[in-house]
């Protein structure tokens, strides 16, 4: 079952259980996905990778909101965003451990032939599609920097 079908099923379960947070988060995701499909063109469906990208973007926005609300002293909104973040994360694949991330980055460095910080963009382009939804971009960037500095 693809992610889009899973959203429909999860929304039904949430509606039956009266879980308004889950239902509203999934509705927002489905609306965003529908807009992306419209942008893509008539009759063209989104790939699983594109769907994951939308969910990852939503997770990132949620984290940024939590940070801003924390700075503003709005604990009620921080709690709401944390609940939404938990729901969004349930749709992403399991995150990579630091060792797995290092291994993926080292494979990308070897495959790209990078030997210094000047080729960091090349390595990032190669590794990010494989890590979509499994590692944050900032964490990947730091790992790539660390690995390239050792070269």
- Domain-wise residue ranges, the chain: 3-89, 98-149
pTM assigned to the model: 0.77
Q: Are 144 and 120 in contact (CB under 8 A)?
A: yes
Per-residue pLDDT averaged across 33-54, rounded? 86
Q: Are 111 and 126 in contact (CB under 8 A)?
A: yes
With beta carbons less than 8 A apart as the criterion, state whether 58 and 88 touch: yes
Contact (Cβ atoms closer than 8 angstroms) between residue 50 and residue 4: no
Architecture of domain 98-149: Orthogonal Bundle (1.10)
**Residues 47, 3 contacting (CB under 8 angstroms):** no
Fold of 3-89: Hypothetical Protein Yqey; Chain: A; domain1 (1.10.1510)
| pLDDT tens digits, 48-70 | 888 988 998 999 999 999 999 99
Per-residue pLDDT tens over the stretch 88-129: 999 988 888 888 888 888 888 888 877 777 888 888 888 888
């Amino acid at each position: 079952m693809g992610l889009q079908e899973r959203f429909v099923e999860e929304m039904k379960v949430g509606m039956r259980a009266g879980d308004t947070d889950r239902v509203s988060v999934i509705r927002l995701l489905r609306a965003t996905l529908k807009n992306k499909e419209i942008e893509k063109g008539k009759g063209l469906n989104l790939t699983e990778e594109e769907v994951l990208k939308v969910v990852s973007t939503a997770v990132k926005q949620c984290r940024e909101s939590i940070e801003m609300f924390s700075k503003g002293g709005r604990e009620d909104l921080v709690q709401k965003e944390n609940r939404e973040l938990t729901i969004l994360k349930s749709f992403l694949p399991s995150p990579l451990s630091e060792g797995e991330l290092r291994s993926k980055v080292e494979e990308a460095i070897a495959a790209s032939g990078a030997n210094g910080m000047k080729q960091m963009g090349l390595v990032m382009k190669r590794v990010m599609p494989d890590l979509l939804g499994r590692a944050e971009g900032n964490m990947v960037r730091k790992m790539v920097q660390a690995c390239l500095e050792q070269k």
